[in-house]
Amino acid sequence: MKINIGSSTLELVQGDITSETTEAIVNAANSSLLGGGGVDGAIHRAGGPTILEECKKLGGCPAGVAKITTGGNLAAKYVIHTVGPIFRGGDSGEAEILRSAYRNSLRTASENGIRSLSFPSISTGAYGYPLEEASRVALAEVMTYLEEHSDIDLVRFILFGKHAYEAYEKALMSLSKEKSRKV
């Protein structure tokens, strides 16, 4: 599924983020930035030791913040590492931290002249954020950023599995309808 937001494109794809050819991919990292499971482990394995060596120099990363390294052996030239919130029921500021993770990743892309990037679904794996809720937060934040910034041409969400894709598709259709009513 694909929509246009100003001069930018927002796209949903079911697939593997480590094979993405956008200029940057976003890593759903842990705060150490030293690799882990899920998306984080897959990116570190596919990108090779260069990414880990650069991450060691960054001194970790708090939740909601984003930091950048090269892409190592990946097709993507850069990896933007961000840490999402651990879901603790929804009353501990999780939504704002998740919004910050997406916003700061996009800001990092803009600051580095990156015109295309791919996101995973941040915090919906081991960190336990409910997929339906996280998809609305993620897409709303990205849509708002693209409305306000024309420097990014393409944002692609690479979703692992049919369930994740369908949750994002439903959220994107709903958010698109809500935005068109406001115009």
For the annotated catalytic residues, the residue numbers are 40
| Cβ atoms of residues 160 and 124 within 8 Å | no
Q: How far is it, in rounded angstroms, from Cα 106 to Cα 61?
A: 16
**What whole-number distance in Å separates Cα of residue 14 and Cα of residue 1?**
10
Q: Which of 79, 83, 44, 42 is nearest to 62 (CA)?
A: 83
CB atoms within 10 A of CB 121: 24
The SS3 call for residue 35 is coil
- The continuous run of DSSP H or E covering 120 comes out as none
